[in-house]
């Protein structure tokens, strides 16, 4: 008589990773996302808002501009023709204040929103250390050579009624001007400062790489803004 073969025991389920409850997972995911955003802002890209028309028509009021903060870490130095973002070297802007919204302040800190209470400007580099810049009539020159400026706002010329120079840019500085030359309080208006209107390279955050918002204004200037 054939004996029945006993059924094989079912394998016990392999121990798996224990899932956290949702009320733990969600805060962890948010924290990790904020840390990643902070890392990107600190080392790679930071977004700035354009508050004025001084760089029209290259940049419009309200545009969000991504600045390449990685470039300076690899030895990038500002060059003629590059749009850059820099901290106020002192006295270029009125005192700025936050809007008092702690959520907006936190989002700004990690890079999800443009800075609210920091003094930053965006201008185009016209001349670098050791170069001599001057403007007369409608002609801008650097080291005696006429600068071609196809980016100027329609109706503006290179001097826009303000002759100056020659000015030699000090070491470690750059001379910057807005593309909307008649609506830009730039290096030309700060020639009585200790640097003669030039901006310290140490204050330059990096080159403007792209317009990332609003969608109709999307534009790419290149990794170093050229």
116 is a catalytic site residue:
no
Q: If we measure between CA atoms, which residue out of 177, 171, 176, 168 comes closest to residue 196?
A: 168
How many Å from the N-terminal Cα to the C-terminal Cα in the chain?
Answer: 91
Confirm whether 41 is a catalytic residue. Answer: no
Find the catalytic residue in 41, 69, 108, 123.
123
- Of 60, 5, 87, 14, the C-alpha closest to 211 is 60
Rounded to whole angstroms, the Cα distance separating 225 from 57 reads: 15
Of the residues 54, 108, 158, 160, only one is catalytic, namely 54
- In whole angstroms, what is the distance from residue 163 CA to residue 179 CA? 16
Strand 164-168 with 145-146, pairing: unpaired
Name the 3-class secondary structure at 151: coil
- Residues with catalytic function: 54, 123
């Amino acid at each position: 008589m054939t004996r029945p073969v006993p059924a094989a025991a079912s394998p016990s389920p392999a121990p798996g990773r224990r899932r956290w409850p949702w009320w733990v997972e969600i805060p962890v995911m948010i924290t990790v996302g904020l840390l990643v955003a902070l890392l990107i802002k600190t080392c790679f890209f930071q977004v700035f808002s354009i508050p004025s028309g001084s760089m029209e028509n290259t940049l419009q009021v309200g545009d969000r501009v991504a600045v390449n903060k990685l470039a300076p870490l690899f030895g990038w130095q500002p060059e003629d023709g590059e749009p850059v973002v820099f901290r106020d070297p002192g006295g270029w802007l009125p005192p700025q204040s936050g809007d008092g919204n702690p959520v907006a302040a936190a989002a700004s800190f990690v890079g999800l929103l443009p800075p609210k209470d920091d003094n930053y400007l965006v201008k185009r580099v016209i001349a670098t250390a050791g170069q001599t810049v001057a403007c007369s009539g409608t002609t801008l020159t650097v080291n005696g050579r006429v600068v071609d400026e196809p980016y100027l706002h329609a109706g503006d010329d290179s001097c826009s009624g303000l002759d100056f120079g020659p000015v030699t840019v000090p070491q470690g500085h750059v001379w910057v001007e807005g593309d909307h030359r008649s609506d830009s309080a730039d290096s030309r208006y700060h020639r009585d400062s200790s640097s003669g209107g030039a901006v310290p390279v140490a204050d330059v955050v990096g080159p403007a790489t792209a317009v990332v918002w609003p969608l109709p204004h999307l534009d790419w200037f290149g990794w170093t803004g050229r």
